[in-house]
Each structure stands twice: as C-alpha cells, then as structure tokens.
C-alpha cells in the first residue's frame, strides 16, 4: 500500500559543496540517498515530494574529523509498504522446485511463494522451468515473466535495502493473471 509520510534524514555534505547553491545540493543529495531505499519499518521510499524547514538547511553541524557538514532534513515522501493479507499483482522473476519468486516492480521488494502455498494440483516441470496444473479452463502455468495475483502471508524488513515477503496463490481469485510472453503487461 502507498502512503505519504513525513520523514527525516541526515545529509552529509563535503565542504566543496558549500556556497550559494547549498540548499539545492542538499535536496539533490537527499533524493539520491533515499529514493528506492527502505526506511526502517515504514517501507520503501518511492519518491521525495516536498521539503520542510528550509531555514534548517542553512544550519549544519561541522564534523571536526572530516570537515563535512551534517544537515537534518525533514521531507515528505511517497512510501510503499506491503502488509500481511494484502493482495498484490506481481511479476514472476524465478521459478524453481521449491516455488517461485516475484516482484511488484520495486527492485528491493522480493516475494517468495512456496510450493506449499500453491494449490495442490500444481506440479513443477523442471524441463520447462515452470509450475503447471490442469483445471476446467485448461492448463494454468506459472513461468518467468507471467503476472500472478497473490496474498501476502508475512512481511520481513530484512535489511536497510530489502523487504522480503512470503506469499500465497492458494485462495479464491488468486493465481495467474497473464501468461508469460503476453504484451498486455
């Protein structure tokens, strides 16, 4: 789920950046440092929207060892955070005998669906590197690049750079949405 959150970050600036455009350089460095990263358990920072406390950008603290200046910047950002029981549409990135991995579009969000979290009819075909089953509508295949609808079972903030989830496609209205190779993505 996406949120707009007010966050805080410490920006370190080298003395060569001091000057008339210091504020713009601080904002640029902030965007480079935080966009696409995990912010605690708040979620993944997608984009910085706005900066607060403009006057604080002019009041940095000098680090005596390095000469760098430390600026505390308050900002507002769009943050993505998956929740337990949330339903997501994800693209399969890897299949193997234990299940498959998928992503929602953010490179640092990884979802693993175990073979135990799929309908029992699914079987792994190693030669084709896909999970498949037969149902009343024909063959259903989970392969690399197909799109699946899944439910999040567990969320773990593994590190400052990655969020990992466990998912399931065993449930009503869950499963394959688009076959691999479809141009409708």
C-alpha to C-alpha distance for 101 and 26, rounded to whole angstroms: 37
- Of residues 58 and 177, more confidence is placed in 177
Residues 106-164 have pLDDT tens digits of: 778 899 999 999 999 999 988 888 888 887 777 888 989 999 999 999 999 877 788 89
The per-residue DSSP string of 1-29 comes to -EEEEEEEEEEEE-GGG-STTHHHHHHHH
Residues 66-102 have pLDDT tens digits of: 888 898 899 999 999 999 999 999 999 999 999 999 9
For the entire predicted model, the pTM comes to 0.82
Percentage of the residues of the chain whose pLDDT score is greater than 70: 94
The CA-based angle 156-84-182, given to 5 degrees, is 90
- Of residues 27 and 159, more confidence is placed in 27
pLDDT of residue 162: 87
The per-residue DSSP string of 128-178 comes to TTEEEEEETTEEEEE-TT-EEEEEEEEEE--SSS-EEEEEE--STT-EEEE
C-alpha to C-alpha distance for 1 and 92, rounded to whole angstroms: 20
């Amino acid at each position: 789920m996406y949120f707009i959150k007010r966050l805080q970050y410490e920006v370190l600036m080298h003395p060569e950046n001091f000057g008339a455009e210091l504020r713009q350089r601080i904002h640029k460095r902030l965007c480079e440092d935080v966009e696409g990263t995990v912010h605690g358990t708040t979620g993944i920072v997608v984009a910085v929207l706005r900066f607060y406390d403009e006057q604080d950008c002019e009041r940095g603290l000098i680090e005596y060892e390095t000469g760098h200046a430390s600026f505390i910047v308050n900002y507002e950002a769009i943050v993505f955070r998956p929740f337990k029981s949330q339903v997501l549409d994800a693209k399969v990135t890897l299949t193997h005998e234990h299940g498959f991995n998928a992503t929602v579009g953010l490179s640092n969000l990884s979802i693993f669906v175990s073979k135990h979290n799929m309908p029992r009819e699914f079987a792994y075909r190693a030669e084709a590197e896909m999970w498949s089953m037969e149902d009343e509508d024909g063959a259903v295949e989970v392969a690399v690049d197909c799109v699946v609808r899944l439910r999040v079972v567990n969320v773990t903030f593994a590190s400052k750079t990655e969020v990992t989830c466990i998912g399931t496609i065993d449930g009503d209205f869950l499963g394959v949405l688009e076959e691999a190779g479809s141009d409708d993505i």
